[in-house]
Amino acid sequence: MARRYDPGRRQRIVDAAIRVVASKGIAGLSHRSVAAEADVPLGSTTYHFTTLDELLVAALRQAGEGFAKAVGARGAFDDPRADLAGELAGLLGEWLSGDRTGVELEYELYLAALRRPALRPVAAEWCEGLAARLAPRTDPVTARALVALMDGICLQVLLTGVEYDAVYAREMLARVIAGRT
């Protein structure tokens, strides 16, 4: 039997993995559940992704692109006259008020690195990439502190159900930028 040429299959598998994690959590992810969601043979998932960790790495990279694109779209990060704290607080507000399922999914995949060492380099790439984007406006150490603070604020909103407070976020981000706590 001839093999069917399907150049989009790998991407469909990654997309399906993201949908499975979004609906069932990481515990619900298996080659079989992804194959069923992607409507591909089980062998296709194991051909493209030998292990579930490989599949999760691809899913985390793709899921993390959402926030990276939002950061990239904000030209004010490059403008030294722009209020960096205000821009970051605004970005967090937009992101957290958008597709809640997508935000939760990104954090679920990000936090999966706690138990899956294969995901740690991807989680670190996300943090380092954002810090590198912010460093020209501050310095590398402050940029890393801003990333940590934004992570903390997002986690508090996601885990406690409190509403995002842009005024508070801006004030705390401004304090870190100014070098005071």
Do the domains spanning 1-50 and 60-178 agree at the CATH topology level?
no
CATH 1.10.357.10 matches 60-178: yes
Low-confidence ranges of the chain (pLDDT < 70): 1-4, 180-181
The pLDDT score that the predictor gives to residue 50 is 94
Q: How far is CA 52 from the centre of its chain?
A: 18
The pLDDT score that the predictor gives to residue 1 is 45
Domain parsing of the chain, residue ranges: 1-50, 60-178
The pLDDT score that the predictor gives to residue 2 is 45
State pLDDT tens for residues 137-170: 999 999 999 999 999 999 999 999 899 999 999 9
| pTM listed for this prediction | 0.83
Distance CA 98, CA 94 (A): 6
The pLDDT score that the predictor gives to residue 4 is 67
Own/partner contacts of 174-180, CB < 8 Å, gap of 24 or more, are 174/85, 176/142, 176/145, 176/146, 176/149, 177/84, 177/85, 177/138, 177/142, 177/146, 179/142
CATH of domain 1-50: 1.10.10.60
The pLDDT score that the predictor gives to residue 3 is 56
